[in-house]
Amino acid sequence: MTETSSPAIATGAPVRLKSIAPPGHVRCPWYLRGKTGVIERDLGLTGNPETLAYGVEAQQIRLYRVRFTMKDIWGDDADPASDTLDAEIFENWLEPTHAS
């Protein structure tokens, strides 16, 4: 069983969800792709469900809770912008906020 090589991301660190649309079984909600939030907590390692879905051995990857403001997700017409949303996101969907 291969373990993830990437170090855990610190709570509070900003992260962006990849804006990609790969085929197959994916576990990242469409409405959060490309959006920026912060790590709310590290939930530890788990088998990558996007691989497990095909019945094969999966890499152990980190699962995080990422917090967004409604403004992060929906822009200026979010009502009110300061309400928040947490979602569970697997590390393979996260990229640093400075990535282009």
Partner 1 sequence: MPHDHHDHDHLSPSGHPYREDQDGPLSYHQQMEIAVRELLVEKGVTTKAEIAAQITAMDNRSPAIGASIVAKAWTDADFKARLLASGSATCAEMDVPVEAMELIVVENTPDTHNVVVCTLCSCYPRNILGLPPDWYKQREYRSRAVREPRKVLSEFGLDLADDVRVQVHDSTADMRYLVLPMRPEGTKGWSEDQLAAIVGRDSMIGAAVPQA
Instruction: State the residues that interact with partner 1 by CB under 8 A.
Output: 27-29, 31-32, 43-44, 46, 49, 63, 65, 73-74, 79-80, 82-90
Beta carbon of residue 99, minimum distance to partner 1 (angstroms, whole number): 22
Of 45, 40, 37, the C-alpha closest to 16 is 37
* Structure token pair of residue 82: 């300061």
Q: Which is closer to partner 1, CB of 41 or CB of 96?
A: 41
Please report, as a single letter, which amino acid is at residue 80.
P
Residue in the block written with tokens 């929906």? 74
Beta carbon of residue 24, minimum distance to partner 1 (angstroms, whole number): 14
